[in-house]
């Protein structure tokens, strides 16, 4: 097509599909009628058939077809959710624990799958003891109920996006078997739990909680007080199993590899292996796998020196994920953070980098590059963070600049301490003492900044027009800077 490369055509079609998913998702709780969707399909096909000679009209028709496909896939999922039995139902039978149970206070939360109902899953909440594990077979008797939403959080859709439509509170349970799940996942989760136990043995609290969050993900080993410190300073992403976390870790592993003298190709493999280990240690939840894909795509672009031209790779990954599960776009905050943080680095960082380099006449220092990488990601995820977590951290840029540069070094020392403690315990303990120093610094810096009077302000509500306005303003700034200082090809 004259004036449009294959890359541009791919961008248009991918964006149209994502727009269809977006439209159907945010139309919920309304659901678009199937008859109307079929009408859209027919209209798009007629346009493609009638205007075969006009490449521009064909592109418009194809984009409309992809847009309709996004609506169709999303609506099909939402119709299934609407049609579930709202009154709930009784369950009595055998079920398998299909995830790693999460400890929350004095309770355990897990997802179980009935053995005689393939494809069905429900959320189960029980007491702290006895403890259950992935792959356990349980005899369960309970009343399945529709999950209740709370504090403005759509808990029902949060579970439904993963195919979990019911919850079961404090059922009668009897353990009837062990390790009946996938042997690989049993091994992965066993490694994860052993890592956590070793960290607790090597490190005092709260440093052990931070190291666990860095290497395995999650803040479950930290007290509520320290979790609040991270929230106030905008550094929760450091210990969260999210795309934002993996994206930040990916870019710094890449920079660390280059800093220690590796070529770009070698630094890529260094960072890719680091991401793979992180995803495995988290227990391979779907959210971490998706985040790992985004992180590896980002460092692949950095390896090739084509960060500004990597948007189609990111779009392709997003489209594949949404084809598999279109509900991720609205109801999976991890997907939103992963997608937007990666796009932020792809779109914002190259422009800011060229602009500043031209202004100061020299390359950026490691600290300045750290600041711009962090701000680039945060610029795109800020509305999502405010909408979902209700806080705007005023000290976040400073906290991230003080803490993020040494996170890869901290993770490396912590990982080495655990490995050596399993082989040569005295050496592992020595390395653990060394790892304690950056962990202590990071916790102290975050605690100090969180204690400032105006560390964060509460955001009770962030309207949709505010989100739209933010992204429009951001894109205009990027456009203006690109014209003034175009990134190098």
Provide the CATH number for the domain around residue 156: 2.40.50.140
334 & 454 share domain? yes
| Token pair of 3 as six digits | 């004036």
In 3-state terms, what secondary structure has residue 235? Answer: coil
Q: Do 63 and 105 share a domain, yes or no?
A: no
Closest to 71 in 3D by CA, of 42, 14, 33 = 33
43 within a domain of the structure (yes/no): yes
Last residue of a domain, one of 156, 181, 206: 181
Task: Quote the CA–CA distance of 156 and 147 in Å, as a whole number.
Answer: 5
The answer to the question of residue 187 being in a domain is no
For residues 51 and 62, the answer to whether their CB atoms sit within 8 Å is no
Within-domain flag for 186 = no
Cα–Cα distance, 330 to 322 (Å, whole number): 11
As a whole number of angstroms, the distance between CA 386 and CA 456 comes to 11
Indicate if 76 and 120 belong to the same structural domain. no
Domain contains 1: no
Residue 172 lies in a domain: yes
Tell me: do 207 and 110 sit in the same domain. no
Residue 307 shares a structural domain with residue 251: yes
Q: Do 319 and 451 contact (CB within 8 A), yes or no? A: no
| Residue 29 belongs to domain spanning | 6-82
Domain edge (last residue) among 155, 181, 207:
181
Q: How many domains does the chain have?
A: 3
User: E strands within 354-480?
Assistant: 391-393, 456-458
Q: In angstroms, rounded to a whole number, what is the distance separating the alpha carbons of residues 267 and 248?
A: 15
C-alpha to C-alpha distance for 30 and 21, rounded to whole angstroms:
14
Both 74 and 93 in one domain: the answer is: no
Q: Are residues 155 and 212 in the same domain?
A: no
- Which residues, in sequence order, are CB contacts of 9 under 8 Å at separation 6+? 1, 59
Q: Exposed (0-12), middle (13-18) or buried (19+): which is 140, by Cβ within 10 Å?
A: buried
Q: Where does residue 101 rank: exposed (0-12), middle (13-18), buried (19+ CB within 10 A)? A: buried
Instruction: Let me know if residue 386 belongs to a domain.
Output: yes
What CA–CA distance (Å, rounded) separates 53 from 410? 60
* Per-residue model confidence (pLDDT) at position 487: 58
Please report the pLDDT score of residue 125 as a whole number: 92
Low-confidence ranges of the chain (pLDDT < 50): none
Enclosing H/E stretch for 262? none
378/119 Cα distance (integer angstroms): 38
Do 107 and 35 have their domain in common? no
Residues 73 and 218 in one domain: no
| Co-location of 258 and 230 in the same domain | yes
Residue pair 304/332 in contact by the 8 Å Cβ criterion? no
User: What pLDDT was estimated at residue 86?
Assistant: 65
Tabulate helix, strand, coil % of the chain (nearest 5).
65, 10, 25
170 and 273 in a single domain? The answer is: no
**What pLDDT is attached to residue 383?**
86
Pick from 83, 81, 75: nearest CA to 21: 75
Q: Which residues contact 474 (CB under 8 A, 6 or more apart)?
A: 348, 379, 380
Interatomic CA distance for residues 479 and 471, integer angstroms:
12
Question: What is the H or E stretch that residue 149 is in?
Answer: none
Count of other CB atoms within 10 angstroms of residue 239: 25
Does residue 334 sit in the same domain as residue 464?
yes
Neighbours of 309 (CB within 10 A): 15
The runs of H, that is alpha helices, within 150-285 are 155-160, 183-202, 207-215, 224-232, 243-259, 264-281
Give the domain-ending residue among 142, 162, 181.
181
């Amino acid at each position: 097509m004259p004036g449009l490369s294959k890359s541009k055509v791919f961008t248009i079609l991918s964006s149209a599909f994502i727009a269809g998913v977006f439209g159907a998702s945010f139309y919920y709780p309304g659901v678009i009628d199937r008859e109307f969707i079929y009408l859209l399909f027919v209209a798009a096909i007629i346009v493609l058939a009638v205007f075969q000679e006009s490449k521009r009209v064909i592109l418009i028709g194809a984009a409309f077809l992809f847009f309709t496909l996004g609506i169709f896939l999303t609506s099909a999922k939402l119709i299934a959710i609407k049609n579930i039995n709202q009154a709930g139902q009784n369950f009595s039978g055998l079920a398998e624990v299909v995830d790693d149970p999460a400890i929350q206070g004095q309770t355990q939360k897990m997802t179980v799958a009935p053995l005689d109902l393939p494809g069905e899953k429900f959320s189960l909440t029980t007491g702290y003891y006895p403890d259950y594990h992935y792959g356990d077979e349980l005899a369960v008797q309970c009343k399945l109920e529709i999950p209740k939403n709370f504090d403005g959080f759509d808990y029902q859709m949060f579970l439904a996006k993963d195919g979990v439509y019911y919850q079961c509170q404090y059922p009668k349970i009897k353990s009837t078997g062990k390790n009946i799940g996938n042997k690989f996942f049993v091994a992965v989760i066993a490694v994860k739990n052993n890592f956590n136990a070793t960290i607790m043995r090597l490190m005092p609290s709260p440093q052990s909680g931070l190291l666990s969050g860095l290497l395995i993900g999650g803040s479950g080993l930290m007290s509520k007080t320290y979790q609040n410190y991270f929230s106030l300073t905008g550094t929760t992403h450091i210990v969260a199993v999210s795309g934002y976390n993996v994206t930040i870790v990916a870019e710094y592993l890449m920079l660390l590899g280059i800093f220690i003298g590796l070529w770009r190709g070698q630094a890529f493999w260094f960072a890719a292996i680091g991401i793979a280990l992180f995803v495995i240690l988290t227990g391979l939840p779907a959210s971490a796998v998706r985040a790992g894909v985004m992180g590896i795509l980002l460092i692949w672009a950095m390896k090739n020196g084509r960060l500004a031209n990597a948007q189609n790779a990111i779009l392709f990954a997003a489209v594949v994920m949404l084809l598999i599960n279109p509900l991720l776009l609205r109801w999976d905050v991890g997907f939103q953070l992963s997608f937007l943080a990666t796009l932020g680095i792809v779109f914002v960082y190259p422009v800011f980098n060229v602009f500043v380099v031209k202004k100061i006449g020299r390359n950026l220092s490691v600290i300045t590059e750290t600041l711009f990488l962090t701000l680039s990601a945060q610029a795109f995820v800020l509305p999502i963070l405010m909408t979902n977590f209700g806080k705007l951290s005023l000290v976040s840029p400073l906290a991230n600049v003080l803490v993020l540069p040494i996170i890869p070094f901290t993770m490396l020392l912590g990982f080495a301490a655990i490995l050596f403690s399993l082989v040569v315990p005295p050496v592992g303990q020595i390395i653990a003492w060394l790892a304690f120093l950056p962990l202590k610094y990071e916790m102290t810096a975050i605690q100090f900044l969180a204690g400032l009077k105006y560390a964060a302000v509460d955001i009770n509500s962030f309207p949709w027009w505010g989100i739209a306005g933010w992204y429009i303003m951001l894109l205009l700034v990027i456009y203006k800077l690109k014209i003034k200082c175009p990134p190098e090809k």
